[in-house]
Structure formats: C-alpha cells, structure tokens
C-alpha cells in the first residue's frame, strides 16, 4: 500500500516508516519539522535501503496537504503529526488545540474528498485521565486533566463522527502508552528539539553529561516507591503495532491500546537504565508536575487478539537501545 505518514520524521513516525518499509509498503512522509530533523529521513533510507517521498508541509494547511493527494495515489494515512507535551499544553493550550485538532479535521476532510478509507490515528493513554489502571478501551473517558489529552479526545470524536456519517471508512485509533528506546541500528531514536519533556531522553541526556541530573517529579504518589508508574513500550514494538493495525484494519471505528500491560516506576526505570548500560544517573526529587497522574498502564489484550500483535522487547532492551542512540547522536 501507499501510506501517507504525517509527522513521519518524528520519534514514533520514523520508526514506523522503518517497520512499514520492511513490510513492503511505500511511504510518503509529510512533516513540518517542528520537532524533528530532515536528516532523520536520510537515516530511515539508510537503515532500510528504500526511498521515501518527503513533503515539508504543515498539516494544518489544507492546501499544502491537498498537493500531496494530487501528486500521489494514497491507500491509507497514519496521522502522527501533532504536539505532545502535557505540561507545555497547559501553558500553551490554544497552540495545542489549533495544531492537533485542526490537523485531524484536515486529514478527515481530505480522506473524505479523495476517498481514502484507511486511517490510523495516534491517540494517547492520556485520554483515560484518572481512571483506575489497567486501562481498557471501553472505559468511560473522564474529563481530561490537560489540554493535550483534550485534543486527543476531540480528535478521536471527530474521526468517530466521520465514520458515523459514512460507515465505509476504516479507522483505527491507537492509544499509545509510553514509547521509549530506539531502532537497534542506533541511527534513529528520540531526538527532541530543546529540553526533553519525556523521561527516557532526559535520562539519556543526563547519562551523556548534557544535563546535570534527572528531576523526578514527585515521590509521594500511591505507588510502589512513590514515583509515577507508566507502561513503557519499546518504540519498535509500537512501530510494528502500526503495521499490524493496517493489516487488520476493519470497517468502522476501532480503538486499541498499544502497551505492554506492565507498570514501571520512574525509579525502577532509572535502575534498569543503570543496570543495562553500567552508567550512573544522578537524580533529585522535586514537586509533582501539573497534569501528571500516579499510574497508567494498559490492558493490551484487545490489540493482542484482534491485531495479532504484542510487545516483545523488555525494559533492558529499551534502555540499551535508547543509550546506543544517544551515544551515536552527533546532533546533541
Ligand atoms: N511519544 C509519546 O510519548 C506519545 C504517547 C502517546 C501519543 N503520542 C502521539 O503520537 C504522535 C507522534 O508522537 P512522537 O513522540 O513521534 O512526537 P514527535 O514530536 O517526535 O513527532 C511528531 C512529528 O509531527 C511533526 N508535526 C507536528 N505538527 C505538525 C504539523 N502541523 N504539520 C506537519 N508536521 C507536524 C513534528 O515536526 C514531528 O516530526 C503524536 O500525535 C503524539 O501526540 C506520543
């Protein structure tokens, strides 16, 4: 299939390009490089020895998006493009609503116009809010606790309503848990512009000496050691989840959790990183971060069964692969 990947130069998108090219699909990437680098595209091509068609386009601009559909046959879209930092979304809510919601509306409109029936959307475990984990897809979504989560709830709703108006569409909404790690080549990985918002790139930058110490946001949560618990999933497992989602896409809207089902605390992740890579990660405990919840982990059984997919890589591989990428990463 010819797959348009919005945000394909980003962290999850770039790994998904590798998985899709490996599975024999053709890939067209549209990215404005707000949070990624054009060099990533060269690296994907180097790893896979396959060509990608690349557009430096902003998905909030409908006409830029339309040029891609005019110039290429498209069989399906994986829509990654968006902003993703919870704490930033609290400070800049309008930017988040504008970018994340408008880009989804444009994807829904263009797919309707060009009769592209297959859409895979990047949602987030954030939509579960303060529900009790393990999170299951049919849980009632609580009023979300941050604007980022709201943009995902709204985007899901927009896609569901699009399907309600035309049931021939096939939409898979994937709710990701916490992707970490990197492709085993060490050539691509998580390379955020500016200071990292996510835990693993923060840890790797501390290990490299670029940041002095890790800040752990709160150790008074009701968890195993008081630090926040998340479901870390190797980014290549997540990438393979997208290939499985496309291969098994069904009519209507279907929602799947992509996670491992296992919760790991911040300090457990720090310990695993130290053990896997034989490096020390100095850290300090600071106050809780607005918008964070105590624990979040998936019940991934629906994706395991219906997509015939499960996360295979363990925490130590996630830590080893993340560190290999950081050591190789000349842009830092
Ligand atoms: N990384 C996570 O922890 C996580 C967890 C759950 C969900 N998600 C979602 O998955 C998707 C991908 O996340 P990621 O970690 O790869 O993020 P990322 O920031 O690395 O990648 C997003 C990409 O989209 C591009 N982009 C943003 N706005 C754009 C626009 N208007 N037009 C064109 N390109 C645009 C960015 O330049 C970037 O390359 C996002 O929608 C994110 O909300 C991520």
d(CA 7, CA 65): 12
Distance 293 CA to ligand 1 centre (A): 21
In this prediction, residue 234 carries a pLDDT of: 98
Known catalytic residues are 148
Q: Do residues 28 and 68 lie in contact, with contact meaning Cβ atoms separated by under 8 Å?
A: yes
Residue 30 DSSP one-character state = E
Give backbone dihedrals phi and psi of 296, rounded to 5 degrees, phi first. Answer: -150, 120
Residue of minimum CA distance from atom 9 in ligand 1: 122
Ligand 1 atom with the smallest distance to the CA of 103 is 31
Residue 70 DSSP one-character state = H
Angle between helices 235-247 and 11-22 (to 10 degrees): 50
Q: What is the residue-level pLDDT of the chain in tens, covering all 332 positions?
A: 999 999 999 999 999 999 999 999 999 999 999 999 999 999 999 999 999 999 999 999 999 999 999 999 999 999 999 999 888 999 999 999 999 999 999 999 999 999 999 999 999 999 998 899 999 999 999 766 789 999 999 999 999 999 999 999 999 999 999 999 999 999 999 987 778 888 999 999 999 999 999 999 999 999 999 999 999 999 999 999 999 999 999 999 999 999 999 999 999 999 999 999 999 999 999 999 877 889 999 999 999 999 999 999 999 999 999 999 999 886 54
Bridge-based pairing state of the strands 229-230 and 214-217 = unpaired
Neighbours of 56 (CB within 10 A): 12
> By CB neighbour count within 10 A (0-12 exposed, 13-18 middle, 19+ buried), where does 236 fall?
buried
Q: Do residues 57 and 32 lie in contact, with contact meaning Cβ atoms separated by under 8 Å?
A: yes
Fold of the domain built from segment(s) 2-182+232-259+298-312: Rossmann fold (3.40.50)
């Amino acid at each position: 299939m010819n797959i348009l990947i919005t945000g394909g130069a980003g962290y999850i998108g770039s790994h998904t390009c590798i998985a899709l090219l490996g599975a024999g699909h053709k890939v067209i990437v549209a990215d404005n490089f707000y949070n990624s680098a054009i060099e990533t595209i060269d690296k994907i091509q180097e790893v896979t020895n396959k060509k990608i068609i690349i557009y430096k386009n902003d998905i909030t601009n409908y006409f830029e998006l339309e040029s891609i559909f005019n110039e290429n046959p498209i069989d399906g879209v994986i829509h990654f493009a968006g902003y993703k930092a919870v704490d930033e979304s609290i400070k800049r809510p309008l930017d988040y609503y504008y970018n994340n919601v408008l880009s989804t509306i444009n994807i829904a409109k263009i797919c309707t116009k060009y009769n592209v029936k297959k859409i895979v959307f990047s949602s987030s475990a954030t939509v579960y809010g303060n529900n009790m984990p393990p999170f299951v897809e049919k849980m009632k979504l609580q009023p979300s606790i941050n604007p980022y989560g709201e943009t995902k709830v709204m985007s899901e709703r927009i896609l569901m309503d699009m399907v309600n108006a035309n049931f021939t569409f096939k939409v898979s909404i994937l709710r990701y848990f916490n992707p970490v790690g990197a492709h085993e080549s060490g050539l691509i990985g998580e390379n955020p512009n500016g200071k990292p918002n996510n835990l693993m790139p923060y840890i790797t930058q501390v290990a490299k000496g670029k940041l002095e110490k890790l800040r752990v946001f709160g150790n008074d949560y009701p968890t195993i050691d008081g630090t926040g618990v998340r479901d870390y999933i190797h980014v290549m497992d997540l990438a393979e989840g997208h290939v499985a989602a496309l291969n098994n896409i069904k009519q209507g809207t279907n929602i799947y959790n992509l996670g491992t089902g296992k919760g790991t605390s911040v300090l457990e992740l720090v310990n695993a990183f130290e053990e896997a890579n034989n490096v020390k990660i100095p850290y300090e405990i600071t106050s809780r971060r607005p918008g964070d919840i105590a624990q979040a982990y998936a019940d991934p059984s629906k994706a395991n069964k219906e997509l015939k997919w499960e996360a295979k890589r363990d925490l130590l591989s996630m830590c080893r692969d993340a560190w290999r990428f950081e050591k190789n990463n000349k842009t830092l």
